[in-house]
Structure 1
């Protein structure tokens, strides 16, 4: 008898809980780190230096960043693009914990990540793109 009550009451408890589905992207609270916000406040030169430090911090060689720009938000990461003096373009993903992940821009689309299309705060080579096409600077 006790077993029958348990089998009947378990589904009723689940119904009483309501919707237990995972939250959607709109429902999630976005957590931001100081570095994520701080990159927007830096001068062009200091932002290039900060992104260079993120790149070299992962063991990649980069003597100087010749241009950088904001790409957009990917999941809970801010994506930036930076071009080193050797011409290699890097996607730099900054987390709220101020951790950085760096990938070659040529590889990010193949991995299902957003392309390195700069949308805002462009310097160096990216500012030439903004001058040629002002619509590139629409995001903020």
Structure 2
């Protein structure tokens, strides 16, 4: 919702969406699809990978976050800072919401501003969103 609508409802916006992206490849390669979606989201946000303070990559399997971080060149200290789905769980149907919540928490804890959350969908596709923490 818009910041104006949130304020009218007595709510304080936590973040705004700067860009989003989707990508797909062969289903057998679904684990690395986030590495294709993240650049799309960053391009739409007008940002580069270096502009992102924190990344959350959903890890349906432990290799997902590690492989995508390697492909994208994400430093370990900027990846799944408080842990990922291997530790927190991967509740099908709400994992995307969980990683966005985790991302916003880390941005606030660390006093950072820009974050990117990405997730593969198991069918060869992935989605990514770039957020700016407000406040």
Normalising by the residue count of structure 1, what TM-score does the alignment of the two structures yield? Answer: 0.26
Larger Rg: 1
Normalising by the residue count of structure 2, what TM-score does the alignment of the two structures yield? Answer: 0.27
